[in-house]
Structure 1
Amino acid sequence: MQTAINQNPNFLKPYYVLASIYLEDRLEEKAIAQYKALFEVNPNQARPHMLLGVIYDTQKRFDLSEKHYRAALEIDPGFAAVANNLAFILADQDKKLNEALDLARLAKEKLSDNPYVMDTLGWVYYKKGLYDSAIGEFSDSLVKKPENATVIYHLGLTYYRKGDSDKARAELEKALRLDDNFMGADEARQVLAGL
């Protein structure tokens, strides 16, 4: 693949293929280098910024993921997947919740049937204290992906904040039965211990 890049550096597909291979082999830093190399060939691409944002997201390097998501949106303001991802990390960090809501709504407008987008919009509503709206989004997401422990956990937290201990307990226990190691499992256990 590197040979293909060397022979024709302006042909973009080999960069993506090589970065994907690196990611499959868990060589994230090499994948990052490949995506960054794409900017030298064509700096006006949103997709490499999105992919870098995703990698940095998984590494919990949220400052870098936010930087790349924002760069992608500057190039393509309607990039719904990027808007969704940026909305989620902003909400998750309790940062710029009004902006997060605008981004999540943009994503929902373009990807209305996507359960992950529904979860993001619900999470932003939850963070803003709009619990009934959050419950609606989480419930819609679970129609599409009923076994998603993270969404069930989000729904359980929302019921907890609304003061409905019975529904909160049921949802949080269900989330932990499905996956006792999802992101948020420790908080689910803490909330359950206090119910």
Structure 2
Amino acid sequence: MVVLLFCGVILFGMASCSDNVPEQSETTIETMPINPYQEKSDVEIADDSTGIVLAAAVNSDQVMNLTIKNNSTRHLGYGDLYSLEYAYEGDWYKVPLLPNVAFPMVLYEIDPGKEKTLEIVIGWTHDVLQPGHYRIVKEVSLADAFDDDTDPRMADRYNIAAEFDISDPAITNS
């Protein structure tokens, strides 16, 4: 009789606890995404009125194909430098570069109405990207010409961005 009473108490306790267990689809503190980056971005991204379009496609082998299209009537200049940012709760956070990363100071040009596709190996400049929503940011310049008579520092400068998703940490250093 004592054993039967004891089993009844245990079953009653188990039944009352089952109502407090979150279902699989509920978000708990343990399943919420964590922001691995601390520094908020203060970069302002240019709107579509510039005529510059940036598109990104991430491949499984750490390579991002980045296409810059110049739909403006001016010449577009850009360099190798780029930054990555991570989206978290409506804000963008800077993804830090690996130590000792440097970008050469070069100027590439895209004529009006033309486009160029670049290959960027993210693993050379950044640590493993955790799953999440990101954007790549590049600074570009628009000028009537980029030649010996034109100071490129006097061109109109814009930050452009393309968003992309990482579903698993496939982009790693090698």
**TM-score by structure 1 length?**
0.19
Highest RCO, 1 vs 2 (Cα 8 Å, sep ≥ 6): 2
Q: Which has the larger helix fraction?
A: 1
Which structure has the greater CA radius of gyration?
Answer: 2
